[in-house]
Structure 1
Amino acid sequence: MKSKIICIAFALISSISIAQSKVGTVDSEYIINLMPETKVVSERSQNYGAKLDSSFTIKVETYKAKIEAFKKNEKTLGELAKQAEYKELAEMESDIKKYQQNGNQLMQLKQDELMRPLYAKLSNAIATVAKAEKYTQILTITGNEFAYIDNKFDITELVLKNLGIAIPVAEGK
């Protein structure tokens, strides 16, 4: 008899604890793309990329000019001067290759640096909505695959409202 009561009590406690958990989803990338600050971040990233490109272009033009000057003066240069020019050109070429390789990494670092405040703002908004709506867990649907998601637990629109971002009206509605 005691074992039946213990089993029933355990089942009741388990069902109560399961019933208390509320899981929701949010499309964080969708929200980030709608945030007005994203346009500023995009402009800043493009400006930074343009600066990198202009620096790269200057390096390449300087390198080309140095090659042309070397070709014109090659016949009049002595052997030691030629070796010094070859060494300088090789160093310039190596510098250009390194700059080109680092360009993508620099752009990604700048993008991450500029986006960090937006993700922090989004995270705070998600936490506010989740607490207000008594969710125990919120999963992001961007980049993840789920077999089934009940859209009534998606808090994307609530987070957008919390951030004061208007929800775009879909065409055809």
Structure 2
Amino acid sequence: MRSLVLFLLVFVTGLSASAQKFGYIDSEYILNKMPEYKKAEETMTRLTEQWTRDVSAKYEEVAKLKVKYQQEEILLTQDMRQERQRAIEKAEEDLKDLNNSIFGLNGLLFQKKKEILKPIVEEIYKTSEKIAKKHKLSFIFDKASDLSIFYADPRHDYTDFMLEELGLSSK
């Protein structure tokens, strides 16, 4: 009796596992077709360039302080040298803090990118959920993500369905 129950349990589990459908999309391809994403990229590029200029200007200030100190070092008293060295160290620390606050983990760049891309990513997730329900898929993988897909049968590619649902042309 136990072996019959075990056999039925394995059989039913095998049926449900084989009934699962999956598909994949190429989010990178989809994003490149979205005008909103192109605008977001342009905005991020402008912000990055501005912040890079700001950090570079601060770096040049620190470099000028160092050069000026080296030129005047011989003429300075011991107290004046120490004061200038502290000023240079403070300027370097400020530069480091500025760089980290903009380009560091959870810096302005990261936060702004997250803010700008959030509605776009949400739209892709909602659409993929819609596609999954429409085509009775259990899983949708992203070919463009870090998830390794060594081979993908093109008949499981739902990228065009996503583009269609988003109102974008695949051409």
Check whether TM > 0.5. yes
Q: Which runs of 5+ in 1 are unaligned?
A: 169-173
Partners of 1:86 and 1:157 in 2: CA distance:
61
The amino acid across from 1:122 in the alignment is I
Q: In structure 1, what is the equivalent of residue 148 of structure 2?
A: 145
Q: Which residue of 1 aligns with 2:169?
A: 166
Match of 1:123 among 122, 125, 131: 125
Code of the aligned partner of 2:128: I
Alpha carbons of 1:7 and 1:46: their partners in 2 closer, same or farther (altered >3 Å)? closer
Alignment deviations for residues 131-162 of structure 1 (CA, whole Å, 9 cap, x no partner): 11221221222233335432212111000000
Output the CA distance in 2 between the equivalents of 1:4 and 1:118: 52
How do 1:1-173 and structure 2 match up within 5 A?
Answer: 13-14=12-13, 16-18=15-17, 20-71=19-70, 73-74=72-73, 76-101=75-100, 103-105=102-104, 106=107, 107-142=109-144, 143-168=146-171
TM-score (norm 2): 0.77
Further displaced range: 129-138 or 5-14: 5-14
Cα distance change, pair 81–22 in 1 and its aligned pair in 2 (3 A): same
Partners of 1:82 and 1:112 in 2: CA distance: 45
Normalised by the length of structure 1, the TM-score is: 0.76
Structure 2: runs of 5+ lacking an equivalent: none
**Distance between the aligned counterparts of 2:14 and 2:99, measured in 1?**
59
Mean Cα deviation higher: 62-71 or 39-48? 62-71
Offset at residue 67 of structure 1 (A): 3.8
In angstroms, what is the RMSD of aligned CA positions? 3.1
Amino acid at match of 2:20: S
| CA positional deviation for 1:68 | 4.8
Distance 2:151 2:46 in 1: 42
